[in-house]
Structure 1
Amino acid sequence: MRTDVKRRGWTVSAEGNDFADRFLESVFFTGNGRMGARGYPAYRPVRRPLDAGLFLAGFYDRISDSTDLTDFVNLPTPIWYQIRLNGRTPPLPSRVSRELDLRTGLLTFRYRLSIADDWVDVREQHFFSLARPSLLFQRLEFRGCGPVELLAGIDHQSCNSPIPDDQVKENTQIIQMTRFCSGEENDAGFTARYETKHTKLALVQTISCRTEGFSTPAFVPDTGDGVGVRCAGDASHGPIALELAVRLTSSRDVDPLLQLDVEPGWDFAGALAENQTAWEQRWADCDIVMEGDEDAQTALRYVIYQLVANCSPRDHTVSIGARGLTHTRYKGCYFWDTDLFLTPFYNLTDPQAARSLANFRIGTLPRAKAHAARMNGAGARYPWMVSYDGTEQCESWDIGCSEVHVTADVAYALGQYLNWTGDDSLFFQGGAQVLVETARFWVSRYSPALEPGKVNLLFCKGPDEYCGITSNNLFTNAMVKHNLSLALAAAARLKQEAPEQYAALGLSEEECASWERLRGAIQLPRDPVTGHYRQDDTFHLLERVDPAELKSGDEASYHQVCFDRLQRYQVIKQADTLLLMTRLPEQFTEEEKLAAWEDFEPLCIHDSTLSFASHALFAAQNGLAEAAEAYWRKALYLDLDEIMGNTGKEGLHLACLGEVWQTVVFGFAGLYIADGVPQLAPHLPHGCTSLNFKFFYHGKKYEAKISGEAWSIIACIFS
């Protein structure tokens, strides 16, 4: 656990002696959704090819010629400079401060460089423009004594170390996934061209320079580490600065705003002002004002900032990886995390981004159908983890084959998007087909049970990734029944409103009747004595153990106990049955929910970063105020305080951030829809005196206000 990240107002800051602190580099990630970089300083006298790079949404390359497995490419980074003071290279500074302004995404470093009697105080600043998403702006400012020679540009030593799916394994292999093609000077700076080695994606970085007190930058085609410019100045005569506008374009660009180039006569201050205006507009839609706890307020705004900074809102060809743009963990792949934990934030605060995420699943439907056929099934089966083209990237055959709930999760998220947005065009342009094809898969996936009229879901795992391979996981079966209900409603609507599409999909009354029969035949396991819901058919057979024997702190137990043993203990990795009851709360009685809490909450060892927030949401929705607040605070500070000890080595945990937001909106505020009208059932956490936020529903913007026992929802008038 760490306590050095300070939170105040709209800023997050830290001071320390470690110039290469991976934890702080994760926390101080900045981005604009389309691209971003971890919070490392630009000054690197020592190479850090695995830690310093830049991430662009959708940029993947195959790991080798002999595999279809991909990795999220750590791209050449323009956040880089070298310096000489009076002809000598200074060592790393002994102390560095970092500050992230959440209002604008501006990241500032301050430190002193010195060698012998020469020194400069350095202020590095950079931000990824929200207004012009192809642009990164930087300002390097120096004041001190003596001559300064600066070399700045692109470090193209960035490499990947593909991390195995197995969470206890480390990889020592280092591969460079891009090749430098060319670099040439232009009027304002220079252009460098790169290409991924196997997928042949092209990347162009064009850098424009401005100076204050430095000589005119001279192009350097080979710096030893990359390509850049050289300039000189004297820091004794007041602050001198180099400003860089970096435009990144690629062969896979989709977002129309990427056509916006840097303005003639630009400067850093003007670009920052434009960026601030764009962020003000975004914050007007997504901010949550929580009065009574200043630290939690800042932490919550940090959560929201990162949810915005890691989603490319106008690109339907990408989704959001488990670590967003903050790390290559899990090879940058997309999981069910996006569908269940992240999509609700965008549904309510940025419907355009939510539509893009839904369209990613629609666009990869052909791959899901091919995957189903490869697994001897019908319809569409969405893979467990995917990258740019929707193909399965999971290396563990048992996990990839048994975590079938992801297909129902995709359908659930699509249904949720349609319910919140009322987007009829997306329904008819692929949405209905996803619901139909996923229903067809489930007909082929279930096996007849011994009891007439019943079926079994064999060889499956639910969200609890422990407990071994099982049958009839409650979460999966209930979500499949919901998937079938969505498909039946979609088919009925197509028959009525788009009969030509109904016919083109080969739908019939007989097929719809088979979905209804399957829905009725799916079993939801219960204990025959207590009547309580069981997690699955075998969980009650597992060996009982005191969770305290497996772990004492918040770090995952699998660092001490092997996976084989964990699969045979009666413990839960993360919320499973409780998660289900937060997603389909109307299908369970209050008594059933509280019984599930009593049965499963004590057995959960929270080995996943998803777990604390899901327990918080369940508790908040069900009147368990003390537990809700305790779990929510663990989730809220999970990355900021390194609660589980893996933020530095793995990046930010985006699904946890999304579930933190859901706990506030659907838990503490109790937002729900009744007869097409937004309603609240608030239970504010201790110390919170009021809660205000805005959200979209069916194209209209609303504002929710909660203060004490009073609450209201009013429709906003668009200006």
Structure 2
Amino acid sequence: MIYNKGYNDFKNFIVAEDKFDARYLGKCETIMALGNGYMGIRSSMEERYVGEVRDTFVSGTFNKFHDNEVTELPNVADVTGMIIYIDNEKLNLTESKIIDYERTLNLRTGELTRKFTYECINGNRIQMVFNRFVSIIDKHVIGQKITIIPEIKDVEINIQSGINGQVTNFGVQHFAEGEKRLYDNKFLQMMETTTQSKIDFAVNTVHKFSISGKEYEPVSHVYMDRRKIGKDYNLSVKKDDKLCIEKISNIYTSRDKENEGLDIDGLKKVSYEKIKESYTKGYDSLIETSMNGWKAIWDKNDIIIKSQDDFDQLAIRFAIYHLVIMTPAHDNRMSIAAKGLTGEGYKGHTFWDTEVFILPYFIYSNPKIARSLLEYRYNTLPGAHKKAKANGYEGAMFPWESAWLEDGEVTPVWGGADIITGKSTKIWSGFIEQHISADVAFATWQYYQITDDDDFMNRYGYELFMDTAKFWSSRLEYNEQTKEYNIKDVIGPDEYKEHVNNNAFTNYMAYWNIKTAIYYYDKLKEDSPSIYNRLNEKLKLDKVYRLWKNKVDKIYLPKPNKDLIIPQDDEYLKKKIIDLTKYKNQKNVGEIFRDYNLEQVNQIQVSKQADIMALFYLLEDLFGKEIKTANYNYYEPKTLHDSSLSLSTHCVLANDLGDNHKAYNLFSCASRIDLGENMTTSDHGIHAASIGGIWQCVVNGFGGVRMLGGNLRIEPNLPDNWSEVKFPIYWHQDRLMITVTKYKLEIENLSKDNKQIVFINKGKEHILKNKICLNIN
């Protein structure tokens, strides 16, 4: 991987590889993926290779293959693939002499480029350039352009290209084949319908040819096969002439809001008319429009880091790029998958990753999108109610893994192999990892405190709070011996500890959830009787409120012991301690499972990821620095960071505690999970939560921006090798630009509305009206 290819306007905007290696196809398929939130496409090459994963996903189009499996995002028909013959020699980079190979993703423009010189068996040399984009403006459009120049002698070229529905999700075919058709001897169309959810897809593609700038119509014929339609083109190209092939495609579904109510014939017609429009515009016009869209995104959201290592600047831009392309901002019936739209890992499901690790970026950078993501959770309340009822509880028990609105829990039951028993390991998260209900409530509160969006709270937010608190009050178990309420048999954020009692994170978050619901109940009853009456009638709040008041102060909250250590759960501190050096220095996550099975890991003081640390991060004002330091020093050496969610949390806390060097190292490790030199970490898709975590390291960590108790606090602490960071945020609907150097903190209100903003720095309140500059030291 090459990280320093860009220069001038593209400096630190280019991700590149300079060598083709068929062993590591998944790396660039994922990190160079293209998308726009509506759809995402892995950047597989046009020609096919063993081991490639050709994935195209459309947000929110879940399907269930069989009753004994869970719903997942289906892999849509591929439009990017081509078979190319040059003088009867099939293009295959594993078998040919390749000169000056390079593939780049331009984060600034959203264009993927691959170029090389290909030496044929007959001695001819062929220059080849492949360009591709997914439009950030027209969410349905995919563009490709292939340029071929023979350098030594004339060539005969054969190209087979079209729509290939012979793709699967790890072998599962989610589509029933529909009509295939060629229009006007030019436009190819294939219809397909998901087998269980009955979503119709229309996939269209068209090719345009030119030689040395003049349009050219090659000899061609159409071919059809099972789940496949394409055209076979034959061309003659003279030495030094430039053959240009444009392939423009689109994807439409009956799930699209604008297509609701259309029957399959209507969908055919709409998508066909649109492909004709795109064909007329052509690749260059379409990508120019998309580039302008990307320019607007970067003008608004770019973060500038002046570092001794340019990789840091590239890393934050890489994070912002992927946050944009993974997020279905167009539809509040959809959320962000744990692998975004870049791979089949986790089946396209949504976890707590969205609310805790990704949502803060949108709250501070694009509150409208943040609101849409929270509205998704509101829209899934029927599924949360269904799960609660099935487990004998009340209220909103949000699924650990969520997909379509009414699905409820979609976590698979069985996972990888147990090295001791040889059987599949049971996945307990869908049954007993329950803190997500409080996580959703926390995200709702965080959004409201930062945006001041009363309309959201009136429509959705208060209800989310009350419904989740209603769940927790039904979930609490009374301990007659201690006269306290416990939460037994759960998994906390540390998934290496199953079936634990009184996980500190879960208990504290449940306590906070109920306490905050009580506050809002009192507030609504006093100030907003119409909202109160509506929710009271819907949720029977008066009855639930009495339970909250009776139970909340009796919830067991683990307290620091004599060494100031808060027990992660009732048994963690009693478990065996082993030397974890081997696993702390591992090259790949999960190497501990080469020596132990999960049952054995459960009996060791070892953590997968931040647990107590996550509690300190979310509810940081409940704990003093001395307690945080003691627990960080105890738990971090026992944490393997086998979850990509872990590094960013530890980074921010290390920075808070004054360990500048460790914080920066953790940021660097988080930045390299996908973007770094390890060529296999991203095979199943991007680590979406870690991508959001990178932004949090920069803005919430080194930039020092936090919301504490509804107040804005800005307490920056730059790494030693950074001289400046500059980033935008929104606070109460005003747009602020924050610049931090070693010596000063400068904040400018770009909204120019003369509204006073109060913020805290070094424990002192300051008032920002237009611009303020404070000395840091």
Residue 147 of structure 2, aligned match among 141, 151, 163: 141
- TM-score when normalising by structure 1: 0.92
1:230 offset after TM fit, Å?
3.4
Change (3 A) 1:528 1:351: closer
Change (3 A) 1:698 1:520: same
Residue 410 of structure 2, aligned match among 393, 404, 410: 393
Instruction: Indicate the residue corresponding to 1:169 in structure 2.
Output: none
Letter paired with 2:604: Y
Letter paired with 1:246: S
The alignment partner of 2:649 has SS state of: helix
**Structure 2 matches for 1:353-368, cutoff 5 A?**
353-368=369-384
1:52 offset after TM fit, Å?
1.2
Instruction: Indicate the residue corresponding to 1:276 in structure 2.
Output: 291
Contact between 1:148 and 1:235, CA under 8 Å: does it hold in 2?
A: no
**Structure 2 matches for 1:317-336, cutoff 5 A?**
317-336=333-352
1:594 aligns with 2:610: no
**Identity across the alignment (%):** 25
Distance 1:235 1:202 in 2: 44
Letter paired with 2:55: G
The alignment partner of 1:649 has SS state of: coil
Change (3 A) 1:564 1:502: closer
Instruction: Indicate the residue corresponding to 1:703 in structure 2.
Output: 737
Instruction: Indicate the residue corresponding to 2:182 in structure 1.
Output: 185
Distance 2:534 2:255 in 1: 31
Change (3 A) 1:554 1:677: same
1:290 aligns with 2:323: no
Letter paired with 1:175: V
1:41 aligns with 2:74: no
Change (3 A) 1:629 1:56: same
Distance 1:662 1:10 in 2: 20
Change (3 A) 1:550 1:88: closer
1:581 aligns with 2:616: yes
Distance 2:733 2:258 in 1: 22
The alignment partner of 1:637 has SS state of: helix
Contact between 1:333 and 1:385, CA under 8 Å: does it hold in 2?
A: yes
The alignment partner of 1:443 has SS state of: helix
Change (3 A) 1:194 1:527: same
Distance 2:258 2:635 in 1: 44
Change (3 A) 1:605 1:499: closer
1:319 offset after TM fit, Å?
1.1
Deviations along 1:495-547, one digit per CA (max 9) or x if unpaired, are: 23124313322444453242133221112213543343221111011111111
Deviations along 1:320-355, one digit per CA (max 9) or x if unpaired, are: 111111111122211111111111111111222211
Instruction: Indicate the residue corresponding to 1:717 in structure 2.
Output: 751
1:525 aligns with 2:562: no
Residue 98 of structure 1, aligned match among 100, 103, 106: 103
Distance 2:585 2:749 in 1: 48
1:223 offset after TM fit, Å?
6.2
Deviations along 1:88-115, one digit per CA (max 9) or x if unpaired, are: 4343345442100000110011134434
The alignment partner of 1:140 has SS state of: strand
Deviations along 1:271-324, one digit per CA (max 9) or x if unpaired, are: 111111111111122211001232210122111111111111121111111111
1:67 offset after TM fit, Å?
2.9
1:12 aligns with 2:20: no
Instruction: Indicate the residue corresponding to 1:692 in structure 2.
Output: 726
Number of matched pairs = 701
Letter paired with 2:142: L
The alignment partner of 2:129 has SS state of: strand
Residue 129 of structure 2, aligned match among 123, 132, 137: 123
1:254 aligns with 2:270: no
Residue 32 of structure 2, aligned match among 28, 47, 58: 28
Instruction: Indicate the residue corresponding to 1:434 in structure 2.
Output: 464
Residue 324 of structure 2, aligned match among 308, 317, 322: 308
Deviations along 1:55-86, one digit per CA (max 9) or x if unpaired, are: 1112222122x335122212111101112223
1:605 offset after TM fit, Å?
1.7
**Structure 2 matches for 1:586-665, cutoff 5 A?**
586-643=621-678, 646-665=680-699
Letter paired with 2:244: A
Change (3 A) 1:500 1:130: same
Instruction: Indicate the residue corresponding to 2:241 in structure 1.
Output: 238
**Structure 2 matches for 1:52-63, cutoff 5 A?**
52-63=54-65
1:137 offset after TM fit, Å?
1.1
In structure 1, the gaps of 5 or more residues are 162-173
Deviates more, 1:434-443 or 1:249-258: 249-258
- Provide the alpha-carbon RMSD of the alignment: 2.5
Residue 204 of structure 1, aligned match among 195, 202, 206: 202
Change (3 A) 1:693 1:566: same
- TM-score when normalising by structure 2: 0.86
Contact between 1:617 and 1:628, CA under 8 Å: does it hold in 2?
A: yes
Instruction: Indicate the residue corresponding to 2:160 in structure 1.
Output: 151
The alignment partner of 1:505 has SS state of: helix
Contact between 1:156 and 1:225, CA under 8 Å: does it hold in 2?
A: yes
Change (3 A) 1:554 1:614: farther
Deviates more, 1:562-571 or 1:508-517: 508-517
Residue 226 of structure 1, aligned match among 221, 225, 228: 228
Letter paired with 1:450: E
Change (3 A) 1:88 1:246: same
Distance 2:125 2:138 in 1: 36
Change (3 A) 1:502 1:217: farther
Change (3 A) 1:677 1:378: closer
1:17 offset after TM fit, Å?
3.0
The alignment partner of 1:470 has SS state of: coil
The alignment partner of 2:72 has SS state of: strand
Deviates more, 1:509-518 or 1:312-321: 509-518
Letter paired with 1:283: W
1:393 offset after TM fit, Å?
1.6
1:7 offset after TM fit, Å?
5.9
1:608 offset after TM fit, Å?
1.5
Instruction: Indicate the residue corresponding to 2:435 in structure 1.
Output: 405
1:182 offset after TM fit, Å?
1.7
Letter paired with 1:86: D
Distance 1:119 1:264 in 2: 31
